[in-house]
């Protein structure tokens, strides 16, 4: 039995979970609605405010799907109730900065031109400080991908640590050349 797959997902009040005949699970909550198509080998049971997943047989593929769909379902429930957010920090000495202009995130990170990034559907960007970016939304996958795309514009380099990094990321620093 999958250690993750056998755990029940608790559904808080105000959240409704429906399963269509095509095996599409829809979760509606105060922050929005998310949908996910599930494999036919996994069945979803809902009782007493808890969701449990069971698999048809113990084939290797179905065991993998069991844990996967349980995690996706738990993330959907968390997303429509609390939402997800990732924080990014800009490190530099030369005045790297980020700002919101006309609904787009504009990054000035040492290139000859500013880099504009448009927020994907369901994701919002905030810049409380010039060196801080907050990516928020209800879909964990989209939030993580948007944050990774921003970080990829100028990832942190190992000598001075300049670049865009996650707020909780530790960058391993290398020692520079020394004259003897």
Low-confidence stretches of the chain (pLDDT < 70) are 1-2, 180
What burial letters (b/e) apply to 94-105, b meaning 16+ CB within 10 Å?
eebbbeeeeeeb
List of domains in the chain: 9-81 (3.90.930.12), 84-166 (3.90.930.12)
Helices (H), the chain: 60-81, 140-153
Position 109 scores a pLDDT of 93
Position 17 scores a pLDDT of 93
Reduced to 3 states (helix: H, G, I; strand: E, B; else coil), residue 123 is strand
Position 178 scores a pLDDT of 83
Position 2 scores a pLDDT of 62
Position 1 scores a pLDDT of 52
* Contact (Cβ atoms closer than 8 angstroms) between residue 151 and residue 168: no
Contacts (Cβ under 8 Å, ≥6 apart) of 125: 100, 105, 117, 119, 133, 134, 135, 146
58-96 residue pLDDT tens: 899 999 999 999 999 999 999 999 999 999 999 988 889
**CA torsion, ordered 58, 63, 67, 69, to nearest 10 deg:** -90
């Amino acid at each position: 039995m999958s250690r993750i797959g056998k755990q029940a997902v608790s559904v808080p009040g105000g959240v409704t979970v429906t399963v269509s005949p095509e095996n599409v699970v829809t979760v509606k909550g105060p922050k929005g609605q998310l949908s996910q198509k599930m494999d036919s080998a996994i069945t979803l049971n809902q009782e007493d405010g808890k969701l449990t997943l069971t698999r048809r047989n113990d084939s290797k593929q179905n065991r993998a799907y069991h844990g996967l769909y349980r995690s996706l379902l738990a993330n959907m429930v968390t997303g429509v109730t609390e939402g997800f957010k990732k924080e990014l920090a800009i490190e530099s000495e030369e005045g790297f900065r980020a700002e919101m202009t006309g609904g787009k995130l504009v990054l000035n990170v040492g290139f000859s031109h500013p880099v504009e990034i448009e927020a994907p559907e369901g994701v919002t960007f905030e810049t409380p400080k010039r060196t801080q970016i907050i990516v928020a939304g209800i879909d964990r996958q989209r939030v993580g991908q948007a944050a990774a795309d921003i970080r990829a514009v100028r990832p942190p380099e190992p000598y001075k640590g300049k670049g865009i990094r996650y707020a909780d990321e530790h960058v391993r620093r290398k020692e520079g050349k020394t004259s003897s």
